[in-house]
Amino acid sequence: MAEGLSGKKFSGKKFSGKKFSGKKFSGKKFSGKTVYNGITMGKVMVLRKDQEQIRRTKVENAEHEIDRVQSAVDVSKQQLAALYDKAVKEVGESSAAIFEVHQMMLEDEDYLDAIYHVIRTEMVNAEYAVAITGDNFAGMFAGMDDEYMQARAADVKDISARLVRNLSGQGAVDFSTMEPSIIVAEDLSPSETVQMDKKKILAFVTVHGSTNSHTAILARMMSIPALIGVEMDLNQIQTGMTAVVDGTAGEVIFEPTEFQCSEAEKKIKNEKEKLRLLQELKGKKNETSDGRTINIYANIGSVSDVGYVLENDAGGIGLFRSEFLYLGRDDFPSEEEQFQAYKQVVQTMGQKKVIIRTLDIGADKQADYFELGKEDNPALGYRAIRICLKQPEIFKTQLRALLRAAAYGNLSIMYPMIISTEEVKQIYTIVKEVEQELKEAQIPHRIPEQGIMIETPAAVMVSDELAELVDFFSIGTNDLTQYTLAIDRQNQRLEDFYNPHHKAILRMIKMVVDNAHKCGKWAGICGELGADTELTQEFVNMGVDELSVAPPMVLRVREKVRTM
C-alpha cells in the first residue's frame, strides 16, 4: 500500500466526487457563428492563456472554490487513470505504478484539508491555495530524513501542478492524456490548432475568431463542429463540464439537461444517417445530368490529412497548405523533412494530382523564427511569395524538396499571393537555379506543372498575361474577397460585410476562367467559396475546371453536381 502525504499509509478512501457547483449553468445556451456544421456532445476542455503565473485573488464564496478543487481532483484522477493504463501497456506495471500513487495522493485527507483550510481562512482562489499547499508539503517532505519520503516532494509538486492546470483549464495542454474533448477557448491561432491531436478534438468553441480565419479552415478540414464569436464568460466554464455543440443550430449548451441531451442524441443519429447516405456517392462521377463534369479535389494542411482525402473520395489534392509544416515549431523544417512529407503525400495519392502551395507564411500564420517583425497591416505585408523572393535561401530549400518529391508522383507546385508577371519570371529563375543544383549533385528530381493562386485583384486584372506564363490558376477566394472588398478576413466585426457572393468576386472568377481558357490552361477554385453549394451551378456554367474543398465537403459538392 502506498504511503500518504503525512507519512501514514493511504487508506484508499474513495473521493466523494461532487458534481460541479455551477447549477446556474445547467442547460445554459450560447449562440455563435458556425464554422462547420455537425453536432457533438462531450466533455469540455477549457484552454486559457496567460495563466502561467498563479495569482492570489480574494473570493467571496469559499465553498465554491472548494467545489472547484474537488472537480479538478476528479478530472486529475481520470487523467492519471488514463496515464496509468497507457503506461502499463507501454512500459509495464511497475513503472506505471507512480500514476496510481499520484491518484491515491489526490485522495489524501491531510493534503486536501490543508487546501480547504487556506481557502476558508484566507478567502482566496483555489489555484493559489493548491499551489501554496503543494509548496508547503513539498518543503516538508524534502526536509525529512527518510529518502523515500524525500522523494515524495517531487510527487506532491507534480500533483499540485496538475490540479492547478486543471483548475485554470490548462489541463488541455497535456494532449497525451486527454480524452476526446470539446475545446473551449478565448481564441485559437493556427499554430496552436495544428499542434492538437485531431483525434482528440470533438469540437471547437471560441469567444473570438472569424469564419474565414485559418483556424476555422482547419476545423472544416478536420470535419469538427466549430462555433466562433460565442459570447461566454470563460471564468464560469470549467474543464470537465459536459457540452453539446450544434454547428447547424449555431449553439453550444453547457451542462445540458436530460431533455437537451436526448434531443442532441436524436440529431447526432440523424446526422450519422445523412453521412451514411453520402457515402453511397463514393466512386461516382462528378457529372451533371447533361453530361458536364468538374474535378472535385480536397484541401489539406498536413500529411496526416491525406487520410481524409481518400476517405472522402476526392479526385486529388487541389491545395496542400505547406506553410502548416512551418507552424508550431521553433525552426525551419529541413529540406529532407519536407521532401519526406511531400513524397509521402504524392506516393499515397498514386496517380492523382497533388498541388502543393509554397509557403504562405504571414498575416495570421505566424512562426516566430521567421522574425517577420511587427507590421501595422500584416495582411498587406511581408508574406507568402514576398518572403520567398526576398529570402531565396528559405524558398530554395522548399523548392529543392518539391522538385525531388515531384520525381515520385503527380505533383504540381502553386505559388501564393502573386501580383505580377515579373514575380512569376523571378520564381522561374530561382526554380532553374535549383534544378541546376540538383542536376549537378545528381539528385533525382523533376520540374512539375507550375501554377499560381489568383487571390489579389492585381492578379485578376493581369490574368490574361499570367495565363501565358503558368500552367494553371487556382482562385483563392478567401484572400480575393478580403483584398477586393477591403475587408480584413480576420476581423470578427466585419463578418457581416464579408460577402464572397459579391458580384465583383463572381465577375472576377469568370474573367480569370476565361483568360485561362483562352491560353489553353485550366482554372480552379481552392478558397472556401469552392464548397459553397449555392454557387456550384454558377461555377459549372462559368466553366470552372476544378473545385478544391475541405475533405468532408467533397461528397456534398458531388451530390450537388449530380443533381444539377
Q: Which spans of this chain sit near Mg ion (rule: CB under 5 A)?
A: 455, 476, 479
52 three-class SS: coil
Residue 70 or 477 having the CB closest to ligand PEP? 477
Edge-to-edge order in the sheet of strand 201-206: 28-31, 251-254, 242-246, 39-47, 181-185, 201-206, 226-228, 33-36
According to the binding rule CB under 6 A, does residue 477 interact with ligand PEP?
Answer: yes
Q: Is 423 left (phi over 0), alpha (psi -120 to 50) or beta?
A: alpha
324 three-class SS: helix
According to the binding rule CB under 6 A, does residue 246 interact with ligand PEP?
Answer: no
Residue 346 or 509 having the CB closest to ligand PEP? 509
463, interface contact from Mg ion, ligand PEP, none, CB < 5-8 Å by kind: none
Q: Which span sits near ligand PEP by CB under 6 A: 83-91, 111-119, 339-347, 472-480? A: 472-480
* CA 310 – CA 305 distance, rounded (Å): 9
Report the residue from 455, 488, 545, 546 that binds ligand PEP according to the rule CB under 6 A: 455
214 is catalytic: yes
According to the binding rule CB under 6 A, does residue 479 interact with ligand PEP?
Answer: yes
321, interface contact from Mg ion, ligand PEP, none, CB < 5-8 Å by kind: ligand PEP
What is the nearest approach in angstroms of Mg ion to the Cβ of residue 379?
Answer: 10
Read off the C-alpha cell for 66.
472548494
Report the residue from 526, 535, 540, 550 that binds ligand PEP according to the rule CB under 6 A: 526
- Tell me if 386 sits within 8 A of 375, measured CB to CB: no
Q: Can you spell out the DSSP letters for 505-527?
A: HHHHHHHHHHHHHHTT-EEEE-S
246, interface contact from ligand PEP, Mg ion, none, CB < 5-8 Å by kind: none
What is the nearest approach in angstroms of ligand PEP to the Cβ of residue 426?
Answer: 21
Residue 216 or 227 having the CB closest to Mg ion? 216
* CA 258 – CA 486 distance, rounded (Å): 47
Q: Is 50 left (phi over 0), alpha (psi -120 to 50) or beta?
A: left
Report the residue from 152, 321, 400, 560 that binds ligand PEP according to the rule CB under 6 A: 321
According to the binding rule CB under 6 A, does residue 302 interact with ligand PEP?
Answer: no
546, interface contact from Mg ion, ligand PEP, none, CB < 5-8 Å by kind: none
Q: Which span sits near ligand PEP by CB under 6 A: 30-38, 92-100, 102-110, 475-483? A: 475-483
The closest alpha carbon to 460, from 477, 443, 435, 437, belongs to 477
List the catalytic residue out of 102, 388, 445, 526.
526
Q: How many CB atoms lie within 10 A of CB 155?
A: 18
Widest Cα–Cα separation across the chain: 87
526 is catalytic: yes
SS (H, E, C) 88-112: HHHHCHHHHHHHHHHHHHCCCHHHH
The dihedrals phi and psi of 455, each to the nearest 5 degrees, come to -140, 10
Burial of 426 (0-12, 13-18, 19+ CB in 10 A): middle
List the catalytic residue out of 102, 214, 388, 445.
214
What is the nearest approach in angstroms of ligand PEP to the Cβ of residue 421?
Answer: 20
C-alpha R_g of the chain = 27
What is the nearest approach in angstroms of ligand PEP to the Cβ of residue 214?
Answer: 6
According to the binding rule CB under 6 A, does residue 476 interact with ligand PEP?
Answer: yes
According to the binding rule CB under 6 A, does residue 211 interact with ligand PEP?
Answer: no
Residue 183 or 217 having the CB closest to ligand PEP? 217
- Tell me if 373 sits within 8 A of 334, measured CB to CB: no
Burial of 503 (0-12, 13-18, 19+ CB in 10 A): exposed
Q: Which span sits near ligand PEP by CB under 6 A: 96-104, 107-115, 327-335, 473-481? A: 473-481
Q: Which span sits near ligand PEP by CB under 6 A: 32-40, 119-127, 257-265, 471-479? A: 471-479
What is the nearest approach in angstroms of Mg ion to the Cβ of residue 221?
Answer: 15
339-368 positions binding ligand PEP, by CB under 6 A: 360
Of how many residues is the chain composed? 564
Size of the site for ligand PEP (CB under 6 A): 11
Residues that bind ligand PEP (CB under 6 A): 217, 319, 321, 360, 455, 476-479, 526-527
Active site residues: 214, 526
